[in-house]
Structure 1
Amino acid sequence: MKSVDPERAKLPFGGITVLLGGDFRQILPVITEGERAEIVSACITRSRLWSICKIFLLTRNMRIKEGRSAEEVQELIKFAKWVLDAGDGNLLPPPPPTDGNVYAEDEILIPTEFCDFSSANSIDKMVESTFPNFIANCRDPSYLSERAILTPTNQTVSHLNIVIVDKLPGESVSYYSVDSAEEFGGSDDDLKSAFPLEYLNSLFVPGMPPHELKLKVGVVVMLMRNLNQTLGLCNGTRMIVTKTLKFCVECEVISGAFIGTRHFIPRMELCPSDSRLPYKLVRKQMPLQICYAMTINKAQGQSLQNVGLYLPKSVFTHGQFYVAISRVTSPQGLRIFVDSEGGEPTNITKNVVYKEIFYALPYK
């Protein structure tokens, strides 16, 4: 770019226009075991480049559907404002409890229209609410592509998905990974004695498929790697399993521009992008994970008609509650299942917002 204009050598990126898109109400950069200050410091607003950025604001919620009547329009406007207030950390705290206890700093009161206190928050209750008539529609791509259960942790997601897959008709097929450890400082004998194969198989690393992947025909899965962007096989693509073969599975894309296309997903060698292990874990497995339930972090970018938000424990970082409730296209599609410390259903939970991240933004 210096050959085009010598003055461009003084500008960042050679004077080329760079577009950065994002919402600071959503989840911030993930810092492993990072404190609040470290997470905020990793944001672009703390970069020296931020002072030369020109900021454009988007003001219309494109995810929420247009209302068909004046009452429905007002309801959607009210819901959109509630979602934005959650992202800004402006939701009102619950009233003082009568037993003399004190609520935590970030706790909020969820409107009762999104909760159900008639019975305990069981998995069957959540499945029936999010996936009504599940058995009759378990092979319908359009039905499956617009529904999901969201929850904060991978452990809860894994448990929910196993229970839901067991409800499907048909026999499950287990695909086992081939695990190995590389880049270990000791000898091969030290490696085998220190990290036996059974230990490597037991590891559950975020962002990688499990050692035993149980699948059935009709199971909804999500791709965990970019395989071929020209065919729509990107990280986060939702698909339905159509065939379970010996060394691979055939899947049909159920969302996005390439909906209806079918692809074979083989085993491949996968390595965690960020791991605290003292060696490099190599897992040869299909890059798939079952996604009837998914983590709130993984749900970023998804648009769904029915969302069941399951909070056995409150969210733990900035923007998680906002991301979860902003996935839906209408307030009728949102159901929130919150458990108190005693395991009883409640409508009081945390909404963690780091308000200092908004200081450098014009709409604050």
Structure 2
Amino acid sequence: MIHKHAFEALDRSLKDILGCHLRSNSKLPFGGKAIVFGGDFRQILPVVPNGSRQDIVNASISSSYIWSNCKVLRLTKNIRLNPQTSNFEETATFANWILNIGEAKVGGLNDGDAIIDIPDDILITDSSDPIGSLITFVYPSIENANNPMFFQERAILAPKNEVVQEINNRLLSLFPGDEKEYLSSNSLCQSDLIHDDFDESLYSPDVLNGLRPSGLPIHKLVLKVGVSVMLLRNIDQKYGLCNGTRLRVIALGKRVIEAEIISGSNIGNIRLFQECY
């Protein structure tokens, strides 16, 4: 997902540094160091704010002069396709379908636009309430899901934060019990004011609370006992509090949240989180 300019900057920096010891290194990619790139830019492209299709493709590493010196290593075994699993054939069919989409083998020849037929078993046909149908499919009988194992292998992915919030609100309404709200505190730092006659009313708390910057939580966090949450930061890797760790809320205090880890190698451990944002 990194822009090609970042790789090119690293390439030039290593050439300058390593070229001081041996002049021939300044002509080698990355100064002669072996660099391993991970990921698949066909599935997750670089993010170019307000960029067009051409801008995004041009930002990929494959559009850089570095790409001609790269050797592509391909995975030959899908570790998710374990013959011992009960739904092996179903998983293999889905994996092949996804791969064919990435290889542009589905939809026929196209110049960027194509019509792809989605299998009926993964297609939402309810046009009146598609989110409700998706929730019912992924979380059946969620109001009776007291077992933490229920949430371990279930998740809903969404392309935008607005959609995530809508799904969260719908799911939260299905849980029994009272809601608990945790609010952030936003104010304008006085040291950032450039002019003495600056009008602070232009940046009132209501305006600041309504901002949705990427990587920051929303102003009002609403939870219930029993809901599943996911960490988005590496808090304490030793104790399993990493990005992507799933937890189940078991108690909500005034400023402390008690949760049980339900994924990873620390399943069953209880952790306390203090409200501090």
Asked whether the two chains share a fold, i.e. TM above 0.5, the reply is yes
Counterpart of 1:228 (choices 222, 236, 254) is 236
Equivalent residue number for residue 269 of structure 2: 261
Give the 3-state SS of the residue equivalent to 1:208 in structure 2. Answer: coil
Between Structure 1 and Structure 2, the one with more strand by share is 1
Does residue 80 of the first structure (1) align with residue 87 of the second (2)? no
Secondary structure of the 1:240 match is strand
Structure 2 partner of 1:200: 208
Task: Name 2:54's counterpart in structure 1.
Answer: 37
Query: Percent same amino acid among aligned pairs?
Result: 37
1:51-79: CA deviation from partner (whole Å, max 9, x where unpaired): 3222210022222342669xx76554433
For 1:190, what is the secondary structure of its paired residue?
A: coil
Moved over 6 A (4+): none
TM-score when normalising by structure 1 = 0.61
Task: Measure the CA separation in 2 of the matches of 1:58 and 1:140.
Answer: 36
| Structure 1 residue corresponding to 2:39, chosen from 12, 19, 22 | 22
Structure of greater Rg: 2
For 1:24-173, list aligned pairs within 5 A. 24-66=41-83, 75-92=90-107, 105-115=113-123, 117=125, 120-137=128-145, 139-173=146-180
For structure 2, the 5+ residue unaligned runs are 1-16
Deviations 1:265-292 (A, max 9, x none): 2344xxxxxxxxxxxxxxxx2xxxxxxx
| Equivalence for 2:13 | none
- Residue 58 of structure 1 aligns to a residue whose secondary structure is coil
Asked whether the 8 Å contact 1:201–1:211 carries over to 2, the reply is yes
Structure 1: any 5+ residue segments left out of the alignment?
Answer: 94-103, 269-284, 286-364
Output one character per residue of 1:97-117: Cα deviation in whole Å (capped at 9) or x when no partner. xxxxxxx93332212232354
Distance 1:122 1:83, change over 3 A: closer
- Aligned to 1:64, the other structure's residue is in SS state coil
Q: Which has the higher contact order (CA 8 A, sep 6+)?
A: 1
- State how far apart, in whole Å, the 2-side matches of 1:249 and 1:214 are: 12
TM-score (norm 2): 0.78
Deviation (angstroms), 1:127: 2.2
**How much does 1:212 deviate?**
0.8
Richer in helix (by share): 2
Count how many residue pairs are aligned between Structure 1 and Structure 2: 255
